[in-house]
């Protein structure tokens, strides 16, 4: 169900990204979106003026690019719509915005500033260890939305491809290692 709402968010973002102020829709565009049925998005997707205008253009563009890959199948080493892995998704979205990152999640986890969860914001990266035997970071996700109760991130899972998950889901909470800010 949430994937359907994020697909609607993707359409909303795509509709709003070609205004005169790159990445910041006009009041008229937002009114048209609400009248087109986007007002029914769940509470954790907040498209108010303040939220959209608070996003840096660069962060908006990275998230917008990432959302275009929703539903893409998982492919180890992949970086295209034909298939991608978690670090490939993050790598591709940052590179699209002229920010070069290492290709592996383990190396990405050495960049930027480490954050407490309470300081995480949209555009930050979340890192996980999903193979406890190896004890190395091997998974990364990009924060796409926050609300009072949760952090939502886009990533590529081996079983479901590119999806959006919530950090408070048992699996992700149990495997979470750290959050970092690159931008």
Q: Which residues are catalytic?
A: 86, 139, 155
Classified as helix, coil or strand, 61 is: helix
**DSSP structure class, residue 73:** P
Helix (H) or strand (E) holding 54: helix 49-54
Helix (H) or strand (E) holding 166: strand 161-166
Residue 140: closest CA among 83, 102, 98, 99: 102
Cα distance between residue 122 and residue 90, in whole Å:
14
């Amino acid at each position: 169900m949430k994937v359907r709402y994020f697909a609607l968010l993707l359409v909303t973002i795509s509709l709003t990204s070609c205004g005169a102020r790159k990445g910041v829709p006009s009041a008229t565009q937002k009114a048209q979106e609400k009248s087109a049925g986007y007002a029914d998005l769940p509470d954790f997707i907040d498209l108010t003026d303040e939220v959209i205008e608070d996003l840096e253009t660069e962060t908006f563009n990275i998230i917008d690019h990432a959302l275009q890959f929703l539903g893409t199948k998982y492919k180890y080493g992949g970086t295209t719509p034909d298939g991608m892995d978690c670090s490939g998704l993050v790598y591709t979205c940052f590179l699209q915005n002229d920010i070069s990152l290492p290709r592996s999640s383990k190396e990405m986890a050495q960049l930027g500033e480490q954050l407490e969860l309470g300081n995480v914001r949209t555009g930050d990266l979340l890192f996980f260890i999903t193979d406890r035997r190896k004890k190395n970071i091997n998974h990364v996700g990009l924060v796409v939305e926050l609300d009072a109760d949760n952090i939502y991130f886009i990533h590529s899972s081996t079983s479901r491809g590119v999806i959006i998950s919530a950090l408070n889901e048992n699996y992700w909470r149990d495997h979470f290692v750290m959050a970092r800010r690159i931008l």
